[in-house]
Structure 1
Amino acid sequence: MSAIPEDVARRKSRHDARARAYRDLSERRARLAAGTSIKPEFEYELLTMFARNELGAAVTMPVLYSLFALACMFWAPTVDAIVWLVTVIVAKVLLLDQARRFLHQPQAQLNIRMWRRRFVLLELFNGLALAGFALVGVRETLGAPTDMVFSSHVFIFATLIVVLAIRTMFAATLPAIFYAGTVPMTLAVVGRLLMLDNSFYLALATMAVGIHLYFTFLARGLRSTVLSMLEYRAEKDALIAELEEQKSVSDEARRRAEAANSAKSRFLATMSHELRTPLNAILGFSEVMKEEMFGPLNNPKYREYTENILESGKHLLHLINEILDLTRIESGRYELHEEPLRLADVIDECHRLLKLRAEGKGIEVVEETESDLPIVWADQRAMRQICLNLMSNALKFTPKGGRITLSVGKMPDGGQYLAVRDNGPGIPEDEIPKVLQAFGQGTLAQQTAEGGAGLGLAIVQNLIELHGGNLDLKSELRKGTEAKVVLPAYRVLQSMGPLQPLGRETHRIKGMAPRPPRPARVRARAEGGDTAAFG
């Protein structure tokens, strides 16, 4: 039996390994086709982030470029500044136009490799246009005063830092685009500073290179962070998709199970009703033959067979009734007809019904009932069936000369219990969940002729759950079994005390105020005393 699950697990492991290998091969093929080391869907996400960043700054970047152009007019000719501003805005407009087209196209129709190359070229053009800012007014500053030369080159150095920060924020996740947009500007600024042949400007040029390297490492860190985020999101989406798939499979399996259960219930109900009609005839005719109403049966064997037919028919009818009860309970068509009753009366009635059977096996049945127990609100037929099923089980497995105890009492929370305890062979602890299931039988029941169909405890559990209670089954080998059904506290009816102390009732007309106590003089007059006080 254990080889089957191991074989299934082995086949499932091989299937998962093949699926992983196929998935890895597909990813590598897609990466080779896209010309990148990352997944194509991640490449699309990175390009989308870049395009959205550019479109988000479609207004602010031209404004910033205009401020740069105004500032450089203090040391450079106005024409040079305007030419640079027009060039950089044209480059920006071309980049924004392509970014908008990229976002408007469906992902399935995009060639990621082509668009990445296009964005790199456009960014290179934009970087060269920005690098032109470092060349604006070169000739004019060479012969200018020292303070103007100092201020202009310091401003150019600050402009480089601003451009590096902006391009790092926009294109850090795409190294080729980042380098295309920043390297030309850095080279132009370093070249201009080195032209001045001064130690101070040499230091600024060195700082410019160092700052560019710093932003490069910063861009790599941002790229790694973004890729990790995309990886986690892809895993989350895959997990959600897998959960959705498993949920749909589970829903389909549940729907099929419910349909099968409903079909089973309908089949059992139909077949049970169909079986009862001929079974009643068998019981009736066999009872007539047993009683020899139309004449004696000369052969004793015929009489014995007739008794066997009658007993077998009764057993089959009992089994059909149990199946019908369980089917009605499982299908939700079992209706409780609740009324006030006493559990002590229920066990007393069941004791009388099964007394002859207990005496026939030599089993002593004892009732233990706590005094002054209040009545409960429950279905009398269901509670009687619960007690009969538990007592029948005890009678089946209790040996001759044994003892069965029927008890009723209070629970600590205010509820009441009905328990059947025997000193039979008991049930192994690992078999208790099995015997509580429908058609579940323990090893002892399978070894005895009185095993039954295994529906008694299942019916008991379902009936007590309809009342809001529960079944507690405890057993110990060679010591006996105790089955206890517990009704909740809200089903116990508490008696109400009188509204007034007895003997002190008052008779009032509805709506009238209570009569005030009479003064002592009035009481004396009413009792025939002196009336002079009222003169």
Structure 2
Amino acid sequence: MSIAVSTSTDKIIVDKSRSHRNKPVSKTVRATRERLQTGSSAPSGFEREMLNLYIGSALHGAIAMPLLVALITAVGIYLSGNLSIVVWAVMTLSAHAITVFLARKARKEDIAADKVPVWRRRFLIGQLLMGLCWATFVTQDCAACGDIRYGFFEGTGLLIALAATAMGTFLLRNALLYTFLPVVAALAFSSLTTGDPAHVGLTGVISLSLLFLVFMTDRMNRANVHILSMQPEKDDLIAELEVAKSMSDEARRRAEEANLAKSRFLASMSHELRTPLNAILGFSEVMSTEVLGPLNNPTYKEYTSDIHRSGEHLLNLINEILDLSRIEAGRYDLNEEAVSLVDIADDCIGMVQLRARAKTIGIHAQFEQGMPAVWVDEKAMRQVILNLLSNAVKFTSSGGEITVKVGWTAGGGQYLSIKDNGPGIPEEEIPIVLSAFGQGSIAIKSAEQGTGLGLPIVQAILAKHNGEFILRSKLREGTEAIAILPARRVLESLPAVEDVPAPARRRKSFA
């Protein structure tokens, strides 16, 4: 009998409608990575950004230079009493106004990349005009002031102007040189023509100061370029992270689709296989019991028994695969009711008792007295306990012992522990046996092999109950499997420990 898939969605194994997204995403990642690896941090790569920063600095500090010129003019008039310095002030302010005008115009124009060299030259010409104005300041003279007094005033004014210009123009490469090379030239010419020691000393001081400030402004310029280069790198890294996250989300979606397709396939195939397998089991049972008449050949009867045992083993494997596929597909619904964990454990011990006696394995039960009911799926909990008990019987050697405990957890929940003294599991293999289809070396060597789905199913069922599964094992010391149900699954709250004596244990021993 064929099992039809109920919805059209179930027929879709993997959605390939978005497969084209990987190509542009991968291309973007490669381009970003290449840009990060080969990107240049040279100043030429950030001329436009640096020029815009200079324009902003020039506009924000536009009032500083007029204040300095006004202060120098006022002091000059006070010292000399000559108003000729006012002419110099007007020339200097006019040159400064040209620079501010250029900055305002550039800000409104929003400079394109190909216009950067043009605007840079314009600003450098503006700085050259300022330099000529400061060179004119050097030529000012005051006979009434005295050489030393006026030289001190002149030198102080030039040093302040030099420092102010360095701070205001370090974003514009070579601007400081364009401004103060005319000043140094004027001082040098004056020193050569007059031979005045004051002018010679002033020339040396201004020249050395200029060299030092040129060096410092160059370092500051490079530092700003480096900061600017870090910004696109940061943006590129963020973009690459976002692209990588997009790829990860896409890969996770495809993995989930593939896992869902696998679960659907397993569920469908399990149904398809169980139908003819049930017929094989039924007919082999009829033949082995000779319901329709005796089999003349005893070998045939033996064969039918083998067919029936093999069919049952295969049916158990298919049922495990079907259970796991239902859990992974999210279609394993719990039918919860109030049941006693002690009673279920007791029934399951009776179900495996025959197999245990065949291997002379003793099963000892230690149950807490007065355990309240828990709100669980009885069929699922029986499956958990039977899986754990079957594993314990399967891997315990003849003459061994199995201990089954049911009791309280520290948090008020209930636990079931099944401990054997079998060969145990190496600690490094515990994650393997807890994974789907995973089997340890002991299980692989054992004659009783399964699918490796028992423990994953136990984990999944307990997770559906908000519980926990713990597997403890050491080689040649045995294995302990612990199934824990949370306190909210217990229908009666546990009284305070100090109010009641320690509960007695109900011990049962199965020889």
TM-score, normalised by the number of residues in structure 1: 0.75
Distance in 2 (CA, whole Å) between partners of 1:475 and 1:79 is 98
Q: Secondary structure at the match of 1:367?
A: strand
Whether 2:46 is the aligned partner of 1:46: answer no
The answer on whether the counterparts of 1:286 and 1:307 sit within 8 Å (CA) in structure 2 is yes
Q: Secondary structure at the match of 1:399?
A: coil
Mark the runs of 5 or more structure 2 residues left unpaired by the alignment: 1-29, 496-511
In structure 2, which of residues 153, 159, 163 is the aligned counterpart of residue 161 of structure 1?
159
In structure 1, which of residues 447, 453, 456 is the aligned counterpart of residue 454 of structure 2?
456
Distance in 1 (CA, whole Å) between partners of 2:380 and 2:33 is 61
The answer on whether the counterparts of 1:132 and 1:188 sit within 8 Å (CA) in structure 2 is no
Supply the AA of the counterpart residue of 2:297.
N
The verdict on how the C-alpha distance between 1:293 and 1:21 changes in structure 2, with shifts beyond 3 A counting, is closer
Tell me: higher relative CO, structure 1 or 2? Use CA pairs within 8 A at least 6 residues apart: 2
The verdict on how the C-alpha distance between 1:391 and 1:202 changes in structure 2, with shifts beyond 3 A counting, is same
1:209-248 → structure 2 map (5 Å cutoff) = 209-248=207-246
Q: Per-residue displacement from partner, 1:248-283 (whole Å, max 9, x unpaired)?
A: 332222121111111111111111222222222222
The answer on whether the counterparts of 1:340 and 1:377 sit within 8 Å (CA) in structure 2 is yes
Distance in 1 (CA, whole Å) between partners of 2:207 and 2:48 is 31
Q: Per-residue displacement from partner, 1:302-337 (whole Å, max 9, x unpaired)?
A: 222222222222222222221121122222222223
Q: Secondary structure at the match of 2:84?
A: coil
- Give, in angstroms, the shift of residue 77 of structure 1: 6.2
Q: Per-residue displacement from partner, 1:45-84 (whole Å, max 9, x unpaired)?
A: 3333223323434x52574477369646753165554344
The verdict on how the C-alpha distance between 1:407 and 1:121 changes in structure 2, with shifts beyond 3 A counting, is same
- 1:131 aligned partner: 132
- 1:97 aligned partner: 105
The answer on whether the counterparts of 1:91 and 1:129 sit within 8 Å (CA) in structure 2 is no
- Give, in angstroms, the shift of residue 373 of structure 1: 2.9
Whether 2:60 is the aligned partner of 1:56: answer yes
Distance in 2 (CA, whole Å) between partners of 1:403 and 1:80 is 110
In structure 1, which of residues 251, 254, 257 is the aligned counterpart of residue 252 of structure 2?
254
Distance in 2 (CA, whole Å) between partners of 1:20 and 1:280 is 60
In structure 2, which of residues 303, 307, 312 is the aligned counterpart of residue 314 of structure 1?
312
Q: Per-residue displacement from partner, 1:199-232 (whole Å, max 9, x unpaired)?
A: 4454444333333233223313423433443454
The verdict on how the C-alpha distance between 1:412 and 1:492 changes in structure 2, with shifts beyond 3 A counting, is same
Q: Secondary structure at the match of 2:338?
A: strand
The answer on whether the counterparts of 2:69 and 2:93 sit within 8 Å (CA) in structure 1 is yes
The verdict on how the C-alpha distance between 1:117 and 1:322 changes in structure 2, with shifts beyond 3 A counting, is same
The verdict on how the C-alpha distance between 1:65 and 1:374 changes in structure 2, with shifts beyond 3 A counting, is same
- 1:415 aligned partner: 413
Distance in 1 (CA, whole Å) between partners of 2:174 and 2:409 is 78
Mark the runs of 5 or more structure 1 residues left unpaired by the alignment: 1-17, 32-36, 498-535
The verdict on how the C-alpha distance between 1:208 and 1:458 changes in structure 2, with shifts beyond 3 A counting, is same
Distance in 2 (CA, whole Å) between partners of 1:416 and 1:137 is 97
- 2:485 aligned partner: 487
The answer on whether the counterparts of 2:88 and 2:136 sit within 8 Å (CA) in structure 1 is no
Distance in 2 (CA, whole Å) between partners of 1:117 and 1:191 is 32
In structure 1, which of residues 263, 266, 272 is the aligned counterpart of residue 264 of structure 2?
266
Q: Secondary structure at the match of 1:386?
A: helix
Specify the structure having the higher radius of gyration (Cα): 1
Supply the AA of the counterpart residue of 2:124.
E
- 2:466 aligned partner: 468
The verdict on how the C-alpha distance between 1:41 and 1:490 changes in structure 2, with shifts beyond 3 A counting, is farther
- Give, in angstroms, the shift of residue 42 of structure 1: 3.8
Distance in 1 (CA, whole Å) between partners of 2:375 and 2:368 is 18
Distance in 1 (CA, whole Å) between partners of 2:131 and 2:97 is 10
- 1:375 aligned partner: 373
What is the count of residue pairs matched by the alignment?
461
The answer on whether the counterparts of 1:440 and 1:455 sit within 8 Å (CA) in structure 2 is yes
The verdict on how the C-alpha distance between 1:331 and 1:56 changes in structure 2, with shifts beyond 3 A counting, is farther
The verdict on how the C-alpha distance between 1:68 and 1:118 changes in structure 2, with shifts beyond 3 A counting, is farther
TM-score, normalised by the number of residues in structure 2: 0.79
The answer on whether the counterparts of 1:127 and 1:180 sit within 8 Å (CA) in structure 2 is yes
The verdict on how the C-alpha distance between 1:493 and 1:187 changes in structure 2, with shifts beyond 3 A counting, is farther
Supply the AA of the counterpart residue of 1:67.
A
- 2:275 aligned partner: 277
- 1:335 aligned partner: 333
Q: Secondary structure at the match of 1:354?
A: helix
- After TM superposition, the structure 1 stretch with the greater mean CA deviation from structure 2, 435-444 or 221-230, is 221-230
Q: Per-residue displacement from partner, 1:163-198 (whole Å, max 9, x unpaired)?
A: 333332233245423322343345446666887765
Q: Secondary structure at the match of 2:412?
A: coil
- Give, in angstroms, the shift of residue 456 of structure 1: 0.1
* RMSD (Å) for aligned C-alpha atoms: 3.5
Supply the AA of the counterpart residue of 1:145.
A
Distance in 2 (CA, whole Å) between partners of 1:25 and 1:225 is 20
- 2:344 aligned partner: 346
Supply the AA of the counterpart residue of 2:412.
G
- 2:145 aligned partner: 146
Whether 2:287 is the aligned partner of 1:289: answer yes
- 2:123 aligned partner: 122
Distance in 1 (CA, whole Å) between partners of 2:51 and 2:161 is 20
Supply the AA of the counterpart residue of 1:85.
L
Supply the AA of the counterpart residue of 1:127.
L
- Give, in angstroms, the shift of residue 467 of structure 1: 2.1
- 1:520 aligned partner: none
- Give, in angstroms, the shift of residue 348 of structure 1: 0.3
Supply the AA of the counterpart residue of 1:128.
L
Distance in 2 (CA, whole Å) between partners of 1:26 and 1:204 is 48
Q: Per-residue displacement from partner, 1:92-125 (whole Å, max 9, x unpaired)?
A: 4235434654x443xxxx24xx734751453243
The verdict on how the C-alpha distance between 1:152 and 1:333 changes in structure 2, with shifts beyond 3 A counting, is farther
Q: Secondary structure at the match of 1:453?
A: coil
Q: Secondary structure at the match of 1:314?
A: helix
The answer on whether the counterparts of 1:329 and 1:462 sit within 8 Å (CA) in structure 2 is yes
The verdict on how the C-alpha distance between 1:126 and 1:19 changes in structure 2, with shifts beyond 3 A counting, is closer
Whether 2:70 is the aligned partner of 1:67: answer yes
The answer on whether the counterparts of 2:130 and 2:179 sit within 8 Å (CA) in structure 1 is no
Distance in 2 (CA, whole Å) between partners of 1:445 and 1:39 is 68
- 1:526 aligned partner: none
The answer on whether the counterparts of 1:405 and 1:421 sit within 8 Å (CA) in structure 2 is yes
The answer on whether the counterparts of 2:169 and 2:175 sit within 8 Å (CA) in structure 1 is yes
Q: Percent identity?
A: 43
- Give, in angstroms, the shift of residue 349 of structure 1: 1.0
- 2:501 aligned partner: none
In structure 2, which of residues 82, 90, 93 is the aligned counterpart of residue 82 of structure 1?
90
In structure 2, which of residues 299, 302, 316 is the aligned counterpart of residue 301 of structure 1?
299
